[in-house]
């Protein structure tokens, strides 16, 4: 091949063009990286939210698309960009936190679980909303407890809740009938719950008597729907009304309480006596999807300790529509350990809309919140999502209370519900609880050993901010 010192220009120009194009494409990116703002244009609100991993469930997508339409109509020239993140909860948190770290990737509005919001506030990922809220008259309609869901230790509010949830016992009436248990079942104590499960095991052998979420694969579902529903009903928690996990006075986490061991013992009993799902199924990361999608609708589960949101998966158009669920399933509140006052236990969490600290268009983002959380839209959302209202005007609206069976039952639990001590260390504490649950579920450790391991983990997770009882 003859060597040409200089290629003819016709051969070189495409190369030059390519280089110029490459530079032209990369330069703005590089420049934007140096600037601040979410790298988006000032007329677009980027909204990131959690998309269900179940392709059939598109409740949130539908709702947000509707709000987007309203917003763009009311704000000519402004655009909304929806950024769905399709992941199970724990992976959604991780993804969002990584997005929040950089102004280039931070959205303008982010859907934050109250479980993690304090942690993210401490990291400086979110903006305080007090100035915005002061100028928004609808904020007065929000229930006080819900307002505190996203209030940080600095007294500022960082998120607008879009509903809350409560928890209780769902039971299969057909299975109960076969087992000779009452259709209006309402256990008074933990022992009643276990006895009912034992009865089912004896008389209806081919179903799972009782589901209590457990172990690390189930994640926060195990901690909150499982463990805390027990722990917050133990003697220590109900007597003084003190939080069984965290001591407000000394600002320390509680180690080795009797209540903790009692709650673990309950979990151990469920799996040791084979009253729950097969241990390997209970420790399958997809257990909660299976419970909602298969076990309950197919009548293969007697009692399920679970959240108020289950029916959202059974609404018409959700893919596993199960309109007759309200005839097939009964509801009972979770009793306290020995039936002591107040008699019922519920935990509440929920999600909030927050504005990232590095958001490019915070003002526009708050405008979007206003549209999304107006009475009409909020009501639409609570009903679509089987959420519990946090706006008083909606809670009082008969159209809401009668929209779906079960809403009244779960809304009434709000009066006796507990919120998690969602301080920054909470996610790690929660993981430690899941590990303790898992070890008694598999039989790897006795209750005493598991509680001891929890105490050690707790010290690590909270930098020794631990108080012995």
The site for other proteins (CB under 8 A) is made up of: 1, 3-6, 90-91, 93-94, 97-98, 116, 119-120, 122-125, 215-217, 278-281, 283, 285, 424-425, 427-428, 431, 438-439, 442, 444
Paired sense of beta strands 252-255 and 351-354, if any? unpaired
Q: How far is the CB of 6 from other proteins (least distance, A)?
A: 8
> Cα–Cα distance between 37 and 54 in angstroms, integer?
33
Q: How far is the CB of 256 from other proteins (least distance, A)?
A: 19
Nearer to other proteins, 1 or 341 (CB): 1
Q: How far is the CB of 85 from other proteins (least distance, A)?
A: 14
Write the DSSP symbol of residue 52.
Answer: P
Q: How far is the CB of 332 from other proteins (least distance, A)?
A: 30
Q: How far is the CB of 153 from other proteins (least distance, A)?
A: 12
Query: What residues contact 76, with CB distance under 8 A and at least 6 apart?
Result: none
Q: How far is the CB of 119 from other proteins (least distance, A)?
A: 4
DSSP result, 234-274: SHHHHHS---SSEETTTTEEEES-HHHHHHHHHHHHHHHTT
Q: How far is the CB of 188 from other proteins (least distance, A)?
A: 34
Nearer to other proteins, 126 or 334 (CB): 126
Nearer to other proteins, 10 or 280 (CB): 280
Q: How far is the CB of 38 from other proteins (least distance, A)?
A: 19
What does each C-alpha distance from 88 to 71, 94, 99, 101, 426 come to in angstroms? Answer: 28, 10, 17, 21, 19
Radius of gyration of the chain (CA): 25
Nearer to other proteins, 5 or 240 (CB): 5
Nearer to other proteins, 259 or 427 (CB): 427
Instruction: List 253's β-bridge partners, or say none.
Output: 246, 466
Is residue 245 within 8 A of residue 231, CB to CB? The reply is: yes
Is residue 164 within 8 A of residue 386, CB to CB? The reply is: no
Helix (H) or strand (E) holding 27: helix 9-34
Q: Strand 44-51's sheet: what is its strand order?
A: 79-86, 44-51, 109-113, 351-354, 160-161
CA torsion angle for 407, 412, 415, 419 (degrees, to 10)? -30
Nearer to other proteins, 125 or 454 (CB): 125
SS3 71: helix
Nearer to other proteins, 266 or 426 (CB): 426
Nearer to other proteins, 7 or 17 (CB): 7
Residue among 453, 451, 462 at smallest CA distance from 429: 462
Residue among 318, 349, 269, 257 at smallest CA distance from 58: 318
Nearer to other proteins, 281 or 367 (CB): 281
Q: How far is the CB of 93 from other proteins (least distance, A)?
A: 8
Is residue 253 within 8 A of residue 425, CB to CB? The reply is: yes
């Amino acid at each position: 091949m003859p060597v040409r010192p200089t290629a003819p220009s016709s051969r070189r120009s495409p190369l030059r063009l390519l280089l110029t194009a490459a530079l032209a494409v990369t330069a703005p990116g590089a420049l934007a990286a140096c600037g601040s703002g979410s790298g988006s244009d000032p007329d677009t609100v980027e909204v990131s939210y959690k998309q269900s991993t179940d392709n059939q469930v598109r409740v949130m997508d539908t709702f947000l698309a509707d709000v987007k339409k309203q917003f763009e109509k009311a704000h000519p020239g402004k655009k909304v960009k929806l950024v769905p993140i399709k992941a199970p909860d724990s992976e959604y948190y991780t993804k969002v936190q990584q997005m929040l770290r950089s102004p280039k990737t931070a959205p303008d509005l982010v859907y934050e679980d109250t479980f993690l919001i304090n942690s993210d506030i401490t990291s400086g990922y979110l903006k305080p909303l007090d100035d915005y809220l002061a100028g928004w008259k609808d904020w007065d309609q929000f229930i006080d407890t819900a307002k505190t869901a996203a209030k940080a230790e600095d007294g500022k509010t960082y998120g607008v809740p879009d509903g809350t949830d409560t928890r209780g016992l769902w039971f299969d009436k057909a299975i109960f009938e076969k087992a000779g248990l009452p259709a209006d079942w309402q256990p008074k104590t933990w022992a009643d719950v276990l006895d009912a499960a034992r009865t089912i095991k004896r008389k209806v052998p081919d179903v799972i008597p009782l589901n209590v979420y457990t172990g690390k694969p189930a994640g926060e579902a195990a901690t909150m729907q499982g463990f805390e529903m027990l722990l917050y009903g133990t003697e220590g928690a109900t007597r003084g009304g003190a939080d069984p996990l965290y001591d407000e006075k000394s600002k320390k986490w509680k180690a080795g309480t009797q209540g903790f061991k009692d709650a673990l013992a309950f979990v151990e009993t469920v799996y040791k006596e084979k009253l729950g799902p097969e241990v390997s199924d209970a420790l399958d990361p997809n257990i909660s999807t299976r419970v909602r999608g298969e076990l309950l609708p197919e009548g293969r589960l007697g009692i399920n300790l679970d959240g108020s949101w289950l029916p959202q998966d059974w609404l018409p158009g959700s893919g596993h529509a199960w309109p007759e669920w309200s005839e097939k399933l009964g509801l009972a509140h979770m009793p306290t350990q020995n039936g002591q006052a107040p008699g019922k236990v519920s935990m509440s969490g929920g999600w909030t809309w927050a504005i990232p600290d590095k958001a490019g268009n915070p003002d526009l983002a708050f405008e979007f919140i206003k549209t999304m959380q107006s009475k009409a839209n909020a009501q639409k959302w609570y009903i679509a999502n089987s959420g519990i209202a946090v706006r008083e005007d909606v809670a009082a609206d008969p159209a809401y209370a009668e929209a779906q069976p079960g809403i009244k039952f779960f809304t009434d639990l709000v009066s006796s519900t507990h919120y998690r001590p969602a301080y920054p260390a909470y996610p790690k504490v929660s993981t430690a609880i899941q590990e303790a649950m898992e070890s008694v579920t598999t039989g790897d450790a006795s209750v005493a050993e598991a509680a001891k391991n929890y105490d050690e983990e707790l010290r690590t997770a909270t930098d020794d901010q631990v108080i012995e009882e």
